[in-house]
């Protein structure tokens, strides 16, 4: 573990009695944080607990209302990110700050490009990027365009961007929220390698398993207040969860036995291409029945994203058949599918789930704003819309409370996800498609989301669950369909599935290991 590289005599970061207020709302209330050289330090808290706000002050994106920040024992005024970078601090945000059409090299050196006379020296820039990637063991293609590489590779680019600017202290905001299990393991190895080189890392997260796997120490924040700092080796996941949410948390899903009903979603011989025009779904068959949760288990890139996009009308299929409640929805627009019983929690909440500049109350009625009681004769009933939003915020624990008219873009990623879940569950359609529905959520919120998904199933709705979290697939699904190379290669009863069995099938093997 990284523990052997921690120098406990050298605090590289001290945040003392940090208070941050936004008007009457206190986001951080006298929080203290100490991080040492060579340490991986986790900041754990619920969605909206104030984790990102605290780190945004360390990186100069926000100024504390009161309190002190010390870097290597010296008090620093963090007026902007330039001050943080000058102090040796780099930050990788949850939603990456990369320019999609630019190359890896162009993104890493942006703003600090070497020159030869009046011209940019991109040959030297490329060599510098190759050198720093070799030094830290972060293998990347310096000539690849950001839009063509995986999320895991984009994260490497962000880390290299910070290291290129001389960062000795790295802040990683929800670093695993969009990664596959394999990419998460790679990231943990990268973090350990960096601490071995003398770097210090702060990770903002609520994933207990990853804290146990990677972190040396963990500071817990609840509702903006400091709770404790613990030695990760000496606490269990259950203890961490209880400290985070202030109550005991149940990790098991209570799901009564029931017989599935008639078929709601029927997919036959579906073919479709990816963004490059390459066939990625290759004659896929799938059925989901009333009162049933069907989980799709697979390694990212095997066609599950494209499958969902074709079902929901966001992508055209090349051939096949898709019926919902007997109605042909193949290659129909998203509104047609919605009107015929399809609701969905999309994989990308910011691109396909929300209009970030709209208020929470307006995002909650995006699909049914023309219906009563929200409007009549094309005139909005703002009182009804506000009441609906207030009830949704309360019922789905969207934080901060009393924020109906705040824009969705001002919420944390986890709370944005809750807005989508509240809307789609309340739409009460016959088919709910949930893609990574708990991505970015803390254990307390995950418990709520799982409860709502199971409630839909218990009400006789059909649920298609696509998730990269095998634990989630196994605990929720009545039936697990394994996708590999664009086809469903196996169907396993949920209560009989094992992680090893599913892992073999997801890698293209057989359940018996042959």
Mean pLDDT, rounded, for 294-304: 90
**Environment class of 279 (CB within 10 Å of its CB; exposed 0-12, middle 13-18, buried 19+):** middle
**Is residue 414's pLDDT more than 90?**
no
User: What is the reported pLDDT for 304?
Assistant: 93
User: What is the reported pLDDT for 59?
Assistant: 96
Distance CA 44, CA 220 (A): 5
Show the tokens assigned to 50: 């104030």
Q: How far apart are the first and last CA of the chain?
A: 34
User: What is the reported pLDDT for 84?
Assistant: 95
- Using a pLDDT cut of 70, give the percent of the chain over it: 96
Distance CA 219, CA 362 (A): 36
Count other Cβ atoms within 10 Å, centred on residue 454.
Answer: 18
Distance CA 249, CA 242 (A): 6
User: What is the reported pLDDT for 256?
Assistant: 86
- Evaluate whether 49 touches 221 at the Cβ level (below 8 Å): yes
- Evaluate whether 478 touches 294 at the Cβ level (below 8 Å): yes
SS3 state at 44 = strand
Least Cα distance to 286 among 249, 320, 245 occurs for: 320
User: What is the reported pLDDT for 411?
Assistant: 86
Count other Cβ atoms within 10 Å, centred on residue 110.
Answer: 15
User: What SS3 string covers 337-386?
Assistant: HHHCCEEEECCCHHHHHCCCCCEHHHHCCCCCCCCCCCEECCEECHHHHH
Distance CA 18, CA 237 (A): 27
User: What is the reported pLDDT for 1?
Assistant: 47
CA 384 to chain centre: 32
**Is residue 242's pLDDT more than 80?**
yes
82 HSE (CA, 13 A, CB side): 3
- Evaluate whether 141 touches 104 at the Cβ level (below 8 Å): yes
Mean pLDDT, rounded, for 175-182: 73
Least Cα distance to 202 among 443, 39, 30, 6 occurs for: 39
- Evaluate whether 205 touches 176 at the Cβ level (below 8 Å): yes
- Give 282's DSSP letter: E
The whole model's pTM is what?
0.70
Distance CA 282, CA 160 (A): 37
SS3 state at 58 = helix
Show the tokens assigned to 145: 């365009």
**For helices 443-458 and 413-427, angle between their N-to-C axes, nearest 10 degrees:** 10
Residue 497, CA distances (Å) to 316, 426, 503 in order? 33, 31, 10
**Is residue 209's pLDDT more than 60?**
yes
Distance CA 342, CA 464 (A): 11
Mean pLDDT, rounded, for 141-149: 89
**Is residue 327's pLDDT more than 80?**
yes
User: What is the reported pLDDT for 498?
Assistant: 87
Give residues with Cβ within 8 angstroms of 400, minimum separation 6: 25, 48
User: Lowest-confidence range among 120-134, 340-354, 404-418, 463-477?
Assistant: 404-418
User: What is the reported pLDDT for 401?
Assistant: 58
- Evaluate whether 317 touches 337 at the Cβ level (below 8 Å): no
**Is residue 163's pLDDT more than 70?**
yes
**What is the pLDDT confidence band of residue 3, given thresholds at 50, 70 and 90?**
low
- Evaluate whether 35 touches 202 at the Cβ level (below 8 Å): yes
Mean pLDDT, rounded, for 286-314: 93
User: What is the reported pLDDT for 70?
Assistant: 96
CA dihedral sign of residues 502, 505, 507, 510: positive
**Is residue 324's pLDDT more than 90?**
yes
Show the tokens assigned to 139: 């293998």
Distance CA 476, CA 463 (A): 10
Average pLDDT, the chain: 90
- Using a pLDDT cut of 90, give the percent of the chain over it: 61
User: What is the reported pLDDT for 138?
Assistant: 87
**What is the pLDDT confidence band of residue 250, given thresholds at 50, 70 and 90?**
low
Strand partners, 31: 18
Distance CA 475, CA 95 (A): 28
DSSP code string of 154-198: HHHHHHHHHHHTT-SEEEEESTTTT--HHHHHHHHHHHHHHHHTT
- Give 506's DSSP letter: H
Distance CA 429, CA 310 (A): 18
**Is residue 511's pLDDT more than 80?**
no
- Residue 247 — φ and ψ, nearest 5°? -160, 170
Mean pLDDT, rounded, for 23-48: 92
Show the tokens assigned to 419: 């807005």
More confident residue, 171 or 416: 171
CA dihedral sign of residues 318, 320, 323, 326: positive
Helix (DSSP H) and strand (DSSP E) numbers for the chain:
16, 24
More confident residue, 502 or 399: 502
Distance CA 492, CA 482 (A): 8
């Amino acid at each position: 573990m990284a523990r052997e590289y921690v120098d406990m005599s050298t605090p590289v970061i001290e945040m003392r009695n940090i208070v941050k207020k936004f008007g009457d709302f206190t986001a951080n209330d006298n929080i203290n944080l100490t991080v040492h050289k060579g340490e991986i330090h986790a900041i754990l808290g619920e969605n909206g607990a104030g984790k990102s706000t605290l780190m945004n002050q360390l990186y100069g994106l926000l100024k504390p209302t009161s309190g002190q920040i010390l870097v290597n024992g010296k008090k620093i005024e963090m007026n902007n990110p330039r001050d943080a970078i000058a102090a040796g601090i780099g930050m990788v945000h949850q939603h990456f700050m990369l320019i999609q059409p630019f190359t890896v090299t162009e993104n890493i050196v942006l703003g600090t490009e070497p020159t030869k006379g009046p011209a940019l020296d991109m040959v030297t820039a490329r060599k510098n990027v190759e050198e720093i990637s070799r030094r830290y063991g972060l293998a990347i293609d310096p000539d690849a365009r950001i839009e063509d590489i995986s999320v895991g590779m984009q994260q490497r680019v962000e880390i290299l961007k910070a290291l290129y600017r001389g960062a000795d202290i790295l802040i990683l905001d929800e670093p695993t929220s969009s990664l596959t299990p394999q990419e998460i393991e790679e990231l943990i190895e990268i973090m350990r390698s960096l601490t071995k080189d003398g770097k210090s890392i702060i990770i903002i997260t609520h994933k207990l398993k990853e804290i146990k796997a990677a972190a040396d120490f963990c500071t817990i924040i609840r509702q903006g207040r400091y709770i404790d700092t613990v030695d990760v080796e000496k606490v269990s996941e259950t203890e961490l969860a209880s400290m985070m949410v202030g109550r005991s948390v149940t990790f098991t899903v209570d799901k009564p036995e029931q017989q599935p009903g008639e078929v709601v979603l029927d997919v036959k011989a579906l073919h479709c291409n990816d963004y490059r025009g390459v066939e990625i779904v290759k004659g896929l068959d799938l059925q989901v029945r009333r009162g049933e949760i069907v989980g799709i288990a697979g390694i990212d890139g095997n066609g599950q994203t494209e499958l969902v996009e074709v079902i929901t009308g966001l992508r055209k299929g090349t051939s096949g058949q898709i019926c919902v409640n007997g109605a042909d929805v193949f290659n129909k627009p998203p509104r047609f599918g919605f009107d015929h019983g399809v609701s969905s929690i999309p994989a990308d909440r910011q691109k396909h789930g929300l209009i970030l500049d709209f208020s929470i109350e307006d995002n909650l009625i995006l699909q049914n704003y023309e219906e009563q009681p929200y409007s009549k004769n094309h005139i909005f009933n703002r009182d009804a819309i506000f009441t609906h939003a207030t009830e949704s915020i309360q019922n789905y624990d969207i934080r901060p409370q009393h924020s109906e008219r705040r824009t969705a873009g001002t919420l944390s990623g986890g709370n944005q996800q809750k807005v989508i879940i509240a809307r789609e569950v309340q739409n009460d359609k016959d088919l709910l498609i949930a893609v990574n529905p708990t991505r970015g959520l803390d254990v307390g919120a995950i418990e709520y989301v799982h409860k709502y998904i199971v409630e839909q199933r218990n009400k006789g709705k059909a649920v298609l669950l696509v998730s990269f979290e095998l634990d989630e697939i196994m605990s929720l699904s009545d039936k697990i369909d394994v996708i590999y190379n664009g086809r469903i290669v196996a169907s396993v009863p949920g209560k009989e599935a094992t992680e090893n069995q599913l892992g073999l099938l997801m890698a293209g093997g057989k359940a018996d290991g042959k």
